[in-house]
Structure 1
């Protein structure tokens, strides 16, 4: 149940623009704990720019207020430049997400944290595989795991399934939903895929005609 007590992020009367062009006017919506909110709309309406605006204005004015810290948010981009011969293993790449580590190597506790998210994201068989050798879907789960190792309260997935085949898309979102259930994190998921919205989304924030409307997915069916 979405109540004030589990409110994570509140956006009020937010304008979103790029250079001198207004993309979204007076946008207001809330993000609650343990929910997956899909951000939908045609190309060019300002979905990614909206996320960047939220991150830029986070707790700096009345437009974007949150009960969590900026460090409790993790942004996962759609694409990263990972070459096929990228040598770092999946385990070591995920370990890079431990931002507060003082030593140049992982402590026993940190290794346990990495192992936990590896299991959570079903990457056990790939832990010692070079990241460059992983498929697109596997790499997306690795990026998710790297974000999870810092125990975020809000995850932002920017079209993480856009370049994946159907099986990999469903596997990634299955993992995301299990992460929400296990950790209590909330997820903002930018997507163009209506099937994923209907199957996995709790809320749909649709951007069109310089305006945004949010509604529960179950009422949109």
Structure 2
């Protein structure tokens, strides 16, 4: 266990009937870092994230979360891969983002919920766009709406699950620049799952490379094409 870690993963093993996907993984994710999670399709990236999110129970080992002062549990925000929302989708950006705050039976926001919603829209540069229908928004605006939805509950850990995969170059960099600003200003810890080698190098500080059930970590400066070729 590291002093400033937000997650400690100890001897984590996840087996399915026909395959061991994660094999005795040990690592710590430091609070306030941006980390890229890379690896080939089928390497176990999704399995690792689902285990962190408590959607999968490990075969062996454990994941220990370290919430910040005054918190009972570690709040995790999750941004999925781009989804093709139909142009007729009726909710406004504000209503869509606010879905994560309606955790009670009343069909309206409590004052603190409304304040959190407005804060999330402001942090993602969506305040001026809050009343347009999500279906008519651009791809980059839709992904920022997913980001705002992930931020509305004030997470300490943000997981970007290939959230840039279907965006053009400009929108990718706009989204990642925004996330990087949140990381720096709010000490928001970020796990960025990606196949985009250049984005990983540009925006993250460390990498986690999954290969054949094992994981290697290090500063992103050590991540190179030669490294990936050597582990292919």
| TM-score normalised per structure 1 | 0.89
In 2, distance between residues paired with 1:105 and 1:183?
Answer: 28
Please provide the CA RMSD for this pair: 2.3
Q: CA deviation at 1:58?
A: 8.0
Instruction: Single out whichever of 7-16 and 106-115 deviates more from structure 2.
Output: 106-115
Q: The residue matched to 2:53 in structure 1 has which SS?
A: helix
The one of 157, 160, 171 equivalent to 1:157 is 160
Deviations 1:66-95 (A, max 9, x none): 113656112222144632211111111111
The one of 53, 56, 68 equivalent to 1:55 is 53
| TM-score normalised per structure 2 | 0.85
In 2, distance between residues paired with 1:182 and 1:14?
Answer: 32
Question: Number of aligned pairs?
Answer: 219
Structure 1 residue 180 corresponds to structure 2 residue 180: no
In 2, distance between residues paired with 1:58 and 1:151?
Answer: 25
User: 5+ unaligned residues in a row in structure 2: which ranges?
Assistant: 225-232
1:58/1:66 contact within 8 Å kept: no
Deviations 1:123-150 (A, max 9, x none): 1231111111112221111011011010
Structure 1 residue 205 corresponds to structure 2 residue 208: yes
Q: CA deviation at 1:204?
A: 0.4
1:58/1:64 contact within 8 Å kept: no
Structure 1 residue 45 corresponds to structure 2 residue 48: no
In 2, distance between residues paired with 1:27 and 1:104?
Answer: 44
